[in-house]
Structure 1
Amino acid sequence: MTGSVVFDPLIPWVAIAVLAALALAGVSLALWRGLSGSGYRALAALVLLGALTGPAYQVEDRAPLTDIVVMIEDESASQMLSDRPTQMGGAAEKLASEIAARPNTELRRVTVRDGEGDAGTELMRALSAALAEEPSARVAGIVALSDGRVHDMDSVPDIPAPMHLLMTGRETDWDRRLIVRNAPAFAIIGEAVTLTLRIEDSGAAPVTDGSATLDISVDGGETQSFSVPVGQDIELPVTLPHGGRNVIQFTVPEADGEITDRNNTALIQMNGVRDRLRVLLVSGEPHPGGRTWRNLLKSDSSVDLVHFTILRPPEKQDGVPVGELSLIAFPTRELFLEKIDDFDLIIFDRYKRRGILPAIYLDNVADYVSKGGAVLVAAGPDFAGADSIYRSPLARVLPAEPSARVFEEKYRPLVTDVGGRHPVTADLQDEDTWGSWLRQIDVEPQAGRVLMSGIDDRPLLILDRVGDGRVAMLASDHAWLWSRGYEGGGPQLELLRRLAHWMMKEPELEEEALWAEATGQSMRIIRRTLSEDVGAVTVTRPDGTAREVPLNEVSSGRFEALYDGPEIGLYHLAEGEHEAVIGLGPAAPREFEQTIATADLLEPAIAPLRGGVFRLEDGLPGIRNVREGRPAAGRGWIGLTPRGAYETRDVTQSPLLPAWLVLLLASALIVGGWLREGRR
């Protein structure tokens, strides 16, 4: 029970002040005039002014509240290293029992784990949430058991009591880590790109010769080892072997005594892209589709086009030698013998044998395909004649043989069942909106797959693999009608782009492919195939364990499955003869960027209220009470500030000047003053 005098004025304090000033002026005038009753009048004014202030005696029934101590236990990934879990677990239980034994004290235990994604240790956000649930007037202290590696110091809350750090780890700890300072997301295939790496020792590292072993592997393949310096930036030139995603793994073997090897590996995923697509377009004679081919290829800034056109049709005989039809001599030998391997794609558009390209040149084109090149044949009526390029050494790589029949009638191209599963023709557009073509060359497929058909389901578009190269045949020279918008047109540009990219072996257009797309620690496994079904994918984790993951068909020719990776690292996928690799998680997890315990990061939160930092390997400090504003830590002890908080259960008030007493005193003093002045 506590008592105090409180005031509850009947009118505003300003009005009371004005009345007091008037009363003082009146009393002063009475004294100046020498009136004998001025004393009585002054006392009467005081009584009335006191009554207006509403004085009362207030008695509160208070119940004392306990002090609250917040203990934060850091269980993030870096706290799981070495013997830190044992250190923290023993200290936390002992500290909890000591605080529980203190009178008038409660303990709030807060556990901190890794943040979402790669956010690291969010200790300050956990502290903010804990303080938001408690009255700040009851918090007597905050004790954090952590290695001090906190990643959200930009979110420090308003701390109402001293904060202390009981630090895990040991002074003899040391660690070696691999740092990737520079790694571009894209690189041009066949051109070297420079990566910047660094191997760095931290903590009480032992004295060595200053070098370490660096192992490098691409797409999980054979490992190459190099000896590199420690503590220096390493400029490493890398050439990507193929298009699409290339997964490069850098590893530094674990050294004796370092506290973890989790930061000794870095995964870099780079996309290989082509600089420019070099295309040789050979047009057999001028025709409406020739300029369409040229315009389509020139519209793509990534295409370098070399175009050769036979300027004179065979039926025109004007006596001009073939070699003199162009302003400059066409460099057939240079293009088809010396520099043919520089081209990524050769297109024969209505070309037929006229003696300009000798048989040895066409034979060289066939060899070019077998060794990895690509040829697209857009067949016209000449393909069905006696001068067809099928009647040349090029026939050994062509997927279809002409029957000498040419159909001159309207028809609409259709995608076959196989074409509906093949990435070149799948989901091109709604076939019902396509315009018609007016000519088709009758061919008999000898190899490959028919993706589009025309008149009476005859083959229209055939794709084939020859050796290491690829060949496509379009059995019509009327694809240009689509680009002219005939009967609504069609997807000629997209079809050509997909054909070119398929022949360039771009991964996204492979009809038989296995790959995965990562999102955090999850991956979407994708298997594309022309078959009706596929087997389960074997997923091999970074630790070497394997698991079978069944796939479900989500669209024609596309099978998928979701898989959550339990750990960060390189995963190997295998289904039949198809293999792929993918890295899950960040290249360098934030929790393992720095692993040596330190108090430097938490110092801005500890210093303002004069808290302390202690290593648990030196023993658990004692606990003392300290007054607010005094040092809260010393040799072997930490301080808590008793708050003295209480809960008010009941309040009673008794007026000091009741109305009847004010009336009696004021009346008596006023009358007394009047009588005093009257006798005089």
Structure 2
Amino acid sequence: MTGSLLFDPLVPLVLLIVLAVLTVLGVVLALWRGLSGWALRGLSALVLLAALAGPVWQIEDREPLTDIVLMLEDESASQTVSDRPEQTRLAADRMAAEIEKRPNTELRRIRVGDGEGDSGTRLMSALSDALNEEPRARIAGIIALSDGQVHDTDRAPDLPAPLHLLLSGRESDWDRRLVVKNAPAFAIIGEPVTLSLRIEDNGAVPDVVGPMAELRISVDGGEPDRLSIPVGQDFDLPITLPHGGRNVIQFLVPVADGELTDRNNSALVQINGVRDRLRVLLVSGQPHPGGRTWRNLLKSDSSVDLVHFTILRPPEKQDGVPVDELSLIAFPTRELFLEKIDDFDLIIFDRYRRRGILPAIYLDNVANYVNGGGAVLVAAGPDFATADSIYRSPLAPILPAEPTARVIEEHFRPEVSKDGARHPVTSGLDGAGEWGGWLRQIDVLPRSGHVLMNGVEERPLLVLDRVGEGRVALLASDHAWLWGRGYEGGGPQMELLRRLAHWMMKEPELEEDALWAEVQNQTMRIIRRTLEADVGSVTVTRPDGTTDEIPLAEVSPGRFEALYAGPEIGLYKLSEGGKTAVVGLGPAAPREFEATIATQEVLAPLIAPLRGGVFRMEDGLPTVRNVREGRPASGRGWLGLTPRETYQTRNIRQTPLAPSWLVLLLSTGFLIAGWLREGRR
């Protein structure tokens, strides 16, 4: 309970000051004129001014409030290495016991884990949240138990009390770290891409550690290659991607003796392999209204290099024009079909028929090209049903369907077959069931592969097949161009032909039998695409070698999915039905393990302004003292807390010091006394 004198003026302060000045002037005038009652009149005016000032005696009933100490316990991933968890736990318990023994003091223990994603240790964010929940005037001190590797110092709040750091780890700690300095998201297949690597040794590195270190490199979980690189220097490593799509490259440095942790000895890099240029050879036979369809499609794609071979003057044409006067350029057929055929990613025969221009040996070489990994697409017209059909050539063994010699000249609407609804080339095409009609179809009998589209009376219209290492497609009509002209509403001509061409060129997103995963943070979406009606569970092999069986659910025809949350960062292997995939979870270099050696440098700018201290746990814990605000808050073997002496007011009582009757009595008495004194004189 405390008392204090307060003033609550009954009139505006300006008016009170004016009255006080007039009073002083009046007293001075009375004194100058020699009036004997000037003192008594002045006392009367003073009593009135005091009454107008409203003096009161205030008594407060106060309840003291406790001081609050915040203790931040770093439980992030970098605090899990070596014996730091036990070291930090013991230090926190002992400091908590000592603080709780102090009178008038409360302790708030705040545990700080890893931030979301790969944001690292968010110690300052946790401190800011804690200060928002507590009265800042009651904070007597802040103690952080950490390795000092904090990643959000830019979010540090204004500190109301000294910050002290109890540093975990040991002075003898050392660690080796692998750093991938540049990793492009895309690279060209078959061309080397250069990655810059660096192996760094930090901390108290033993003298026995040599200047070279072994580096192991594996692609998609395969057998690793080994090489020796210098420590502490940038190393440029050229790597050639073996296939298109995602390539998962793992770099690993073996653990050295006495190293603090191996969590930063590996790195995962995922690079998408893309083709530099897609090389296509288009062989056009008999001219027809849709003859420019393929050319327009391929020329519209800037990533395609097109070589177009058009037969404008077949050998049997006799028009009397001397050969030396022809302006046509002889096509280098030998060079293309014998010497450089393997340079092409796709060969398209558009209504081509045998006319003696391409000898059988050339076409036989095309068949060998397909078996070796090439792709051939046949866009058939009426010529495919004749005796001069390209089917009656060395290409017959690789074609998926045989012509019956019948050309069906009637209206029909192309439809997607049961397999086509599950195949990425034809599934999900816009406007299915409402497409415009075609007017001609070549009757064929499928021998192998999959029929994706049907025509007249459900006869095969589009057939795809895999031959050896390559791919073959047969489109049994030359009227796809009607869709492009908008006939009966048209259809997805360009999209269908684009998908077809890119499937043949082995684009990963159009594979009909594939297993892959899409990654977001530590969760992967496992996707299995197949033409089969059912699939089994996917076997997921974790980085530590243990396995999980994950069932899949069909989300659309031919597409099965499941979500899987990986328990740790690293390389995961997926397998199902003979298909395998490799995927990396987590960042290439987790932020928590970029630097693992305990340090005070990061938090030093926050500790210095209020003169806090840094103490190593391995040297013993400091004692706790009280210090005045503004004084040094740490010393050898001790840290200081600033007592706040805050309180809560429970009750307030005010007693007026100038009651009206007393003011009236005193002021009147002094006036009468002054009048009497002057009257006697």
Please report the TM-score for the alignment, with normalisation by the length of structure 2. 0.97
Give the aligned partner of residue 98 of structure 1: 98
Give the aligned partner of residue 185 of structure 1: 185
Q: CA deviation at 1:14?
A: 2.2
Give the aligned partner of residue 651 of structure 2: 650
- The 2-side partners of 1:265 and 1:450 are apart by 46
- The 2-side partners of 1:50 and 1:152 are apart by 59
Contact 1:245 1:272 in 2 (8 A): yes
SS of the residue corresponding to residue 195 of structure 1 reads strand
- The 2-side partners of 1:349 and 1:514 are apart by 33
Contact 2:279 2:304 in 1 (8 A): yes
Q: How many residues align?
A: 680
Q: CA deviation at 1:268?
A: 0.5
Deviation string 1:481-529 (CA, Å, 9 cap, x unpaired) is: 1111111111111111111111111111111100011111111111000
- The 1-side partners of 2:435 and 2:293 are apart by 18
- The 2-side partners of 1:325 and 1:453 are apart by 44
Using the aligned pairs only, state the percent identity.
Answer: 75
SS of the residue corresponding to residue 70 of structure 1 reads strand
Q: CA deviation at 1:295?
A: 1.4
Give the aligned partner of residue 470 of structure 1: 471
Contact 1:323 1:329 in 2 (8 A): no
1:390 counterpart letter in structure 2: Y
Give the aligned partner of residue 9 of structure 2: 9
Contact 2:431 2:491 in 1 (8 A): no
Q: Where do residues 158-197 of structure 1 align in structure 2 (5 Å cutoff)? A: 158-197=158-197
Give the aligned partner of residue 58 of structure 1: 58
Give the aligned partner of residue 346 of structure 1: 347
Deviation string 1:351-379 (CA, Å, 9 cap, x unpaired) is: 11111111111111111111111111000
Q: CA deviation at 1:47?
A: 1.5
1:254 counterpart letter in structure 2: V
1:105 counterpart letter in structure 2: T
- The 2-side partners of 1:108 and 1:324 are apart by 99
Q: Where do residues 403-482 of structure 1 align in structure 2 (5 Å cutoff)? A: 403-482=404-483
Is 1:399 the counterpart of 2:395? The answer is no
Give the aligned partner of residue 566 of structure 1: 567
Q: CA deviation at 1:339?
A: 1.1
Contact 1:214 1:250 in 2 (8 A): yes
Q: Where do residues 521-670 of structure 1 align in structure 2 (5 Å cutoff)? A: 521-670=522-671
Deviation string 1:510-553 (CA, Å, 9 cap, x unpaired) is: 11100011111111111000001011110000011011111111
Deviation string 1:275-311 (CA, Å, 9 cap, x unpaired) is: 2211111110221111222112111111111112111
- The 1-side partners of 2:504 and 2:100 are apart by 74
Give the aligned partner of residue 130 of structure 1: 130
Gaps of 5+ in 2: none
Give the aligned partner of residue 378 of structure 1: 379
2:88 counterpart letter in structure 1: M
SS of the residue corresponding to residue 438 of structure 2 reads coil
In terms of mean alpha carbon deviation, does 523-532 or 207-216 score higher?
207-216
In terms of mean alpha carbon deviation, does 119-128 or 212-221 score higher?
119-128
- The 2-side partners of 1:497 and 1:409 are apart by 26
- The 2-side partners of 1:599 and 1:537 are apart by 47
Give the aligned partner of residue 519 of structure 1: 520
1:165 counterpart letter in structure 2: L
SS of the residue corresponding to residue 337 of structure 1 reads helix
1:485–1:313 CA distance, 2 compared to 1 (3 A): farther
RMSD of aligned alpha carbons: 1.6
Gaps of 5+ in 1: none
SS of the residue corresponding to residue 90 of structure 1 reads helix
SS of the residue corresponding to residue 334 of structure 1 reads helix
Q: CA deviation at 1:584?
A: 0.6
Deviating 4+ runs (over 6 angstroms): 321-324
Q: CA deviation at 1:407?
A: 0.9
- The 1-side partners of 2:198 and 2:22 are apart by 85
1:4 counterpart letter in structure 2: S
Give the aligned partner of residue 490 of structure 1: 491
Deviation string 1:626-651 (CA, Å, 9 cap, x unpaired) is: 11111111111111111111222221
- The 2-side partners of 1:665 and 1:319 are apart by 145
1:447 counterpart letter in structure 2: S
2:106 counterpart letter in structure 1: E
Please report the TM-score for the alignment, with normalisation by the length of structure 1. 0.98
Deviation string 1:366-425 (CA, Å, 9 cap, x unpaired) is: 111111111110001111111111111111211111111101111110110001011110
Q: Where do residues 493-512 of structure 1 align in structure 2 (5 Å cutoff)? A: 493-512=494-513
- The 2-side partners of 1:9 and 1:393 are apart by 116
SS of the residue corresponding to residue 389 of structure 1 reads coil
- The 2-side partners of 1:447 and 1:42 are apart by 125
1:599–1:323 CA distance, 2 compared to 1 (3 A): farther
2:557 counterpart letter in structure 1: S
Q: Where do residues 216-235 of structure 1 align in structure 2 (5 Å cutoff)? A: 216-235=217-236
Q: CA deviation at 1:206?
A: 1.7
- The 2-side partners of 1:485 and 1:315 are apart by 37
- The 2-side partners of 1:412 and 1:404 are apart by 22
- The 2-side partners of 1:352 and 1:45 are apart by 129
1:349 counterpart letter in structure 2: D
Q: Where do residues 317-396 of structure 1 align in structure 2 (5 Å cutoff)? A: 317-320=318-321, 327-396=328-397
In terms of mean alpha carbon deviation, does 256-265 or 61-70 score higher?
61-70
- The 2-side partners of 1:363 and 1:311 are apart by 23
Contact 2:415 2:433 in 1 (8 A): no
Q: CA deviation at 1:325?
A: 5.7
Contact 1:311 1:325 in 2 (8 A): no
SS of the residue corresponding to residue 190 of structure 1 reads coil
- The 1-side partners of 2:184 and 2:73 are apart by 38
- The 1-side partners of 2:32 and 2:489 are apart by 113
Give the aligned partner of residue 301 of structure 1: 302
- The 2-side partners of 1:247 and 1:320 are apart by 61
SS of the residue corresponding to residue 157 of structure 1 reads coil
Is 1:37 the counterpart of 2:32? The answer is no
- The 1-side partners of 2:553 and 2:70 are apart by 50
